Every structure is written in C-alpha cells, then in structure tokens.
Structure 1
C-alpha cells in the first residue's frame, strides 16, 4: 500500500510542476499553444495505447464503450457547469476546463495504476514518463490561462495541488479495489478516462492550441503523439 501511495504521488506531481511553471513566468501565446498541442498529441496517444487498447484487452468492447459514454457525458456536464460560473467568459475561471479534464482523466488512470500494483504487475517507467509528458502541458496551459483570467498564483497552485492530491488518492483507491475489480470494471475505468479525455481534447485543448499556435499546432500535435506512443510501446 505504501508503494501505491508513493507512485501515486510521483504520477500526480507532474500536474503541480506544470502549474508552477505556468505561473512562474509569462508565456507567449505561441509557446503556450505549442505546449498544449504537444500535450494534446500525447493525450491522444494515451487514449489509443494506454486506455482504449488495454481496456479492450482486459474486458472487451462493451465495458469500454459504456465507460467511454459515461466519461464523455460526465466531462460534458461538468464542463457546462464550469462555463456557467465563468469558465469561458472571464470571471477568473479561465483554464478550469483543462484542470477538470486532468481530474476526470487522472482519477481513473491512477486507479488503474493502483490496481496494477496490487496485482503485482509493478510500475512501467515508460508509462510514468508518458504521464509526465501529457500532464505538464495541461498544467502549464491551464495555469497560464487562469493567470491571464485574473486568478492569483496562490489560487492557481492550490487548485492544481488539490487536483494532484485527489488523483494520488485514486491510486490508493485502486489498490484497495484490486481484490474486487474484475476485467470488466478495469475496462470500464479505462473507457471512462478515455471518454473524458476525448471530449476535453475536442472542446478545449485542441481549439485553444490552434488559436494560440496557429498552423504549427497540427505538426506539434503529431510530435507529441509520436513521443508518447514511443514511450507507451517501450514495454
């Protein structure tokens, strides 16, 4: 169990590092857009190779499809709630959709990590690096947008610390659930994370990357996908 806590903290720490980098200095729009595009590519790779593919192997298409639908609807509804409190119209809540996406993706993703640890599968270094590759751009992009929207550095860092703590605790929860989690539940968890990520990517991350980085966003997205896909397939 101690191992699950340690690796959960290590995996979630990248979110806080990204947020600190985002508030430590002013980032040009083109650079933020490039970072977001790279992260989007890494997340697309995560959906394809770490979530959907593994979910299909563990439980088949039905649990993955149910998880996809639940994850997509959950993010959509939660994102609309963020929008109502000012997420995309000022009010100091800019960047919250990315934080929400990190939370809805991180909880099931790290729960799966905890389940794997409890099953004696160990931790893939490649997977941890891939998590960092995708989490850092989310933290940087979201923190930069929140800063531009008027939130203080302290508020931004606290938001991301809270997201990281919840994600780290999900690793412990997954470890505790390992005894009762069958292949279908694991596949559904993978699908949920994939569904939440896909809606966040299409609605928030990719459009923001395209707006800030321009035509280069597509090329950088492919680069992010290639790097993350390579890391995912090292094991």
Structure 2
C-alpha cells in the first residue's frame, strides 16, 4: 500500500507541477513539442511491454486483441463526444478531456502494481510521469490563455490529479484477487485507450510544434522506456 501511494503521489503530482509550470513559467513551443514526443514514445513502448505483452503471456493473444480494440474504440467515442458534442472549451468538457487521457494510464498503473515489485513498474510509472509533465504544462498554458483565470486552471488540474489518483488506487484495490483473464483484458483496455490517445492527441500535437525533431524525440522516449524496463529484467 505504501508503494502504491508513493507511486500515485509522484505520478499525479507531476500533473500539478506541470500545470504550474505551464501557467506561471515560460515553455517554448518547440521545446514543448519535443518533450511531448519524448513522453509519447516512452509511454507507447511502456504500455506495449508492461501491459500488453504480460497479458499475452499470462492469458492469450485473443484477450489482448479484444481489450486493446475495446479501449481504443471507447477512447475514440469519448473523444468525439467531447470535441464535437460537449465542447472541449467548456468547464465540464475541459475536465473530461484532461481526465480522458489520464484515467486509462492511472488505472493501468494501479493494475500493474498488483503483485509487482518496485522495479517492475518503474518503466510504466516513469513513462506516465514523463507524459504528465509536458501534457499538463501545455494544456494548462492553453487554458490559462483563454477565458479561464490562472487560479481556476490550476485548481482544475489539482482536482484532475486527485481524480486520477483515485483511479490508480481503485484499479489496485478493487482488482486484487481477480483472475488473470480479467486482469489481462483490463490491462489491454487501458493500453488501447492510451494508444488511441497517443495517436489522436499526443503525436499530432508534438509534430505540429516540432515537426523536424518529433520523430527523433519519440525514438529517444522509447529508448528511455526500454532502459527503465531493463532495470527490472
């Protein structure tokens, strides 16, 4: 439990730190794009190696396929509703848009911590941490530049961090003792949602901000995640 709380605190705390950085600090657009691509590459490799592959090993390729497809479709539908129906610039839409990316990641983190040692979740936790910092900084910067006050934007991110922390804790506590087939599907649903969010939100944003170095940054992120993962091998 202490390890769960410590990991969740660090990962979710990165949202608040990143948001404060984006609101009150200066973040060059090209640097933001590079960091977003770096984090995206790390997260892509991590969900593949820490969520999908273990699910295949303990359950089956069929379970993994179902879970990834279900997660991607769920994200796509929710993302469409936020952008096209609810309005991503509204208060509720902003909160939904922010949490939509984070809930699958944190749920996956909580599930990954079931029966795992400290080093075994280092790659996934580190990748989510890397992802949260530039994502929060860029998102908070954009929101603060609109009709929302800086204080309101910061409190929105603090509330989001609390929601995502609850998702990680719930994923860990409620699913302890679940069968491998069930855990495999849940891991892959979360992984599918994360992959879809990378394709539709993260990488396009990174390319738009830093077209020439986005590919290199993505590769560096994957290398970083691979290095973190190798510590637990």
| Deviations 1:135-190, CA, capped at 9 Å, x for gaps | 22222222223233443222322232223222222333233334431111211121
Alignment pair present for 1:151 and 2:148: yes
Q: Report the Cα distance in structure 1 between the residues aligned to 2:176 and 2:45, rounded to whole angstroms.
A: 29
Q: Report the Cα distance in structure 2 between the residues aligned to 1:56 and 1:213, rounded to whole angstroms.
A: 35
| Deviations 1:97-152, CA, capped at 9 Å, x for gaps | 4552123322x2132144x2xx3x33227333333222222222222232334432
CA 1:18/1:177 → structure 2, altered by over 3 Å: closer, same or farther? same
Equivalent position of 2:158 in the other structure: 161
Q: Report the Cα distance in structure 2 between the residues aligned to 1:158 and 1:70, rounded to whole angstroms.
A: 32
Q: Report the Cα distance in structure 2 between the residues aligned to 1:192 and 1:11, rounded to whole angstroms.
A: 20
Aligned-partner SS, 2:165: helix
Aligned-partner SS, 1:181: coil
Superposition map of 1:1-235 within 5 A: 1-83=1-83, 84-87=85-88, 97=97, 99-106=99-106, 108-114=107-113, 116=114, 119=115, 121-124=116-119, 126-127=122-123, 128-235=125-232
Tell me which moved more, 198-207 or 146-155. 146-155
Q: Which runs of 5+ in 1 are unaligned?
A: none
Contact 1:20 1:157 in 2 (8 A): yes
Number of equivalences: 228
CA 1:62/1:217 → structure 2, altered by over 3 Å: closer, same or farther? same
Shift of the alpha carbon at 1:191? Answer: 0.7
CA 1:232/1:146 → structure 2, altered by over 3 Å: closer, same or farther? farther
Shift of the alpha carbon at 1:26? Answer: 3.1
Tell me which moved more, 188-197 or 121-130. 121-130
CA 1:113/1:8 → structure 2, altered by over 3 Å: closer, same or farther? farther
Contact 1:33 1:217 in 2 (8 A): yes
RMSD: 2.5
Contact 2:51 2:191 in 1 (8 A): yes
Q: Which runs of 5+ in 2 are unaligned?
A: none
Shift of the alpha carbon at 1:232? Answer: 1.8
**TM norm structure 2:** 0.85
**TM norm structure 1:** 0.84
